Structure 1
Amino acid sequence: MPAELIVPAAVVLGLLIGSFLNVVIHRLPLIMERQWADEIAQAQAERDGPAAEPSSYRVEPEAETFNLVVPRSRCPHCGHQIRWYENLPILSWLALRGRCSSCKAPISARYPLVEAATGLVFGYCAWRWGLGWTTAAWCGFGAALIALAMIDWDTTLLPDGITLPLLWAGLIAATLQWTALPLADAVWGAVGGYLSLWLVYWGFKLLTGKEGMGYGDFKLFAALGAWFGWQALIPLILIASITGAIVGLVLKLRSGLRPGGYVPFGPFLSLAGLVGMVFSPAALLPLGGL
């Protein structure tokens, strides 16, 4: 591919991947909830025997065919099936003026923003690293963080189906020298990322009796450690903590906090990871005082 086409091609690919990420962000938590409901129903059936009443947790048969591909996307207000030309990244949203073509219900601006963010990440990676496996690795890293940030913001869930592959991908990328990070640093980064937040979690719980974060945060920080190494953990957690505190304060002043007064931490860990990708761990080290 000619060098002048690499970045535009990466941007277009990122826009398409961003469109798919919108599906992942919306559907993956629903898929997880259905799996949990089915597991609860099966456990109740095994406990109570075949003569028991049907469980209220059981997923109806007609609702079982639901994944990241099936069914096709529909308007949540009127059920209108979205045609291919209504699903073009950014362009369709602009052409429809942010409204369903059938019922004219508003379509959230977050959809094109996710697509644009993914396109920018892919374009940046192609501009920085050119055409190769390093670019592919960092594009996947950025796409995963965007999906995790939005899912956690919506549901306070950080799915293992994304965090654990992201962690393993970081270790594999270090092994194959796609991230210019020694494998030992990646391994200890994963260990340190998990254990550091695990210790904070239990310290906070023992002192207050409350849970300050979830296990998904441990896994996500471990994944960041695998991608950036143990040396970058302090600056990364500082970036996440400072931005999280600022956003939390703004939401509190605007009375926008959720019931319980909490703000999910995953989006800010994801933001720290994207900042680390752009500025590199070496540039972040002074922030951590290292």
Structure 2
Amino acid sequence: MLELPLWGWVVAAGVLGLLVGSFLNVVILRLPERLMAQWRLDAFDTLAMEPDGQALPPGIVREPSHCPQCKHPLAVRDNIPLFGWLLLGGRCRYCKASISIQYPLVELLSGLASAVIVWKFGPNWAAVAGLVFTWMLIALSGIDFRTQYLPDQLNYPLLWLGLLLSLLPVFVSPNSAIVGAAIGYLSLWSVYWLFKLLTGKEGMGYGDFKLLAALGAWMGPTAVLPVILLSSFIGAIVGGSLIALRKHGRDIPMPFGPFIAAAGWVWFVAGEWMLQQYMQLTGLR
């Protein structure tokens, strides 16, 4: 590792997070479109029908960034994380169409969260793993927020990476990772079926089970209950606020994945401190 003070590593992580956040925007926007296009082609193949001839959406890596309205390729200066959007005033340089605030928000979130990870763990391999963990959670949250879908293409790598890291171990032992993954999956799976039996409705999707399983693999079984409680608390506050402000209807489904991801990241970074505070308040030792 280079000889830098901790604050230097934190700043470097923040800058790296901004750059990665720009790529995460591409993943959030393009991965669901690519998956749906592939599902359409698979359906035609299964039914032995000729494809409908629709062109595939842009790829995640090769195709350059462009305006979603006029399709004009973006200049390098327009792609500068966070500042590009600010300099453009939130509008395309060419067609003046509005550019979603998602772009700077995701970049800023990625930058800040990346800086916190390095501040928490220091310049070591645990921080590298933590950065990957953070970026994948942001991508999953963004996709679920937009589409109410948590793709296996991200959930499963996050799960398997947590299990593989336990072999070193980086955060938890192999036993804790395996048990955590199982408990994480089965806990929400049980809630799903209980809710469906009682109401006849589906309260969440299978992607939520897999995401909590991945968090269990990274942090062990003791993190599962706090993450569930935290995600429910965050979801209640956000959902209640949106309903009160009439930004979201009561009967419109709300994705739960972003709340699970947010709670999981908070516990990953501050779980030990939060547990100590709770024990002090309750007098437990």
* TM-score, shorter chain, exceeding 0.5: yes
- Aligned partner of 2:64 in structure 1 is 72
Tell me which residue corresponds to 2:234. Answer: 243
- Letter in structure 1 aligned against 2:181: A
| Cα contact 2:185–2:210 (8 A) shared by 1 | yes
Residue 208 of structure 2 corresponds to 217
More displaced, 201-210 or 101-110? 101-110
Identity over aligned pairs, percent? 46
2:204 is the alignment partner of 1:175: no
Deviations 1:109-131 (A, max 9, x none): 22111111111121112222222
Is the contact between residue 37 and residue 57 of structure 2 (CA under 8 Å) also seen in structure 1? no
Q: Comparing 99-108 with 267-276, which one deviates more in the overlay?
A: 99-108
4+ residue segments displaced more than 3 Å: 281-290
User: What is the identity, as a one-letter code, of the residue corresponding to 2:32?
Assistant: P
Shift of 1:59: 4.9
How many Å apart are 1:2 and its aligned residue?
2.6
Give the Å deviation of 1:260. Answer: 3.9
The reply on whether 1:20 has 2:35 as its aligned counterpart is no
CA contact (8 A) 2:181 2:213 kept: yes
The aligned counterpart of 1:6 is 9
Would the aligned equivalents of 2:243 and 2:249 in 1 still touch at CA under 8 Å?
no
Q: Which amino acid aligns with 1:147?
A: A
Q: What CA distance in whole angstroms lies between the structure 2 residues aligned with 1:79 and 1:142?
A: 30
**Paired AA for residue 248 in structure 2:** L
Compared with structure 1, are the counterparts of its residues 254 and 90 closer, same or farther at alpha carbon in structure 2 (3 Å cutoff)? same
1:132 partner letter: N
1:247 to partner: Cα distance: 1.7
- Identify which of 79, 86, 102 aligns with 2:78: 86
Unaligned runs of 5+ in 2: none
Counting matched residue pairs gives 278
Cα gap change, 1:258 to 1:216, in 2 (>3 Å): farther
**Shift of residue 257 of structure 1?**
2.5
Contact 1:197/1:217 (8 A) holds in 2: yes
When normalised by structure 2's length, the TM-score is: 0.91
Alpha-carbon shift at residue 77 of structure 1 (Å):
1.7
Does the residue aligned with 1:3 lie in a helix, a strand or coil?
A: coil
Q: Secondary structure at the match of 2:208?
A: helix
Q: Which residue of 2 aligns with 1:189?
A: 180
For the 8 Å contact 2:155–2:207, the answer to whether it is kept is: yes
Aligned to 2:136: 144
What is the one-letter code of the residue matched to 1:232?
A
Give the Å deviation of 1:286. Answer: 7.6
Q: Report the counterpart of residue 49 of structure 1 in structure 2.
A: none
Q: Aligned residue for 1:111?
A: 103
Residue 284 of structure 1: CA displacement? 4.0
2:198 aligned with 1:198? no
Query: Residues 128, 281 of structure 1: CA spacing in aligned structure 2 closer, same or farther, 3 A cutoff?
Result: closer
Query: Please, which runs of 5 or more residues in structure 1 have no aligned partner?
Result: 46-51
8 Å CA contact retained: 2:30, 2:57 = no
Do 1:65 and 1:71's aligned partners in 2 also have CA atoms closer than 8 Å?
no
1:38 paired residue number: 41
Over the residues paired in the alignment, what is the CA RMSD in angstroms?
2.1
Q: 1:65 to 1:233 in 2, by over 3 A?
A: closer
Distance 1:258 1:37 in 2: 31
Give the 5 Å matches for 1:267-282.
267-281=258-272
Task: Answer yes or no: is 1:161 the counterpart of 2:153.
Answer: yes
CA contact 1:276–1:284 (8 Å) conserved in 2: no
Contact persistence 1:235–1:284 (CA under 8 A): no
Q: Which residue of structure 1 lines up, in the alignment, with residue 217 of structure 2?
A: 226
How far is 1:159 from its partner? Answer: 0.6
- TM (normalized to structure 1)? 0.89
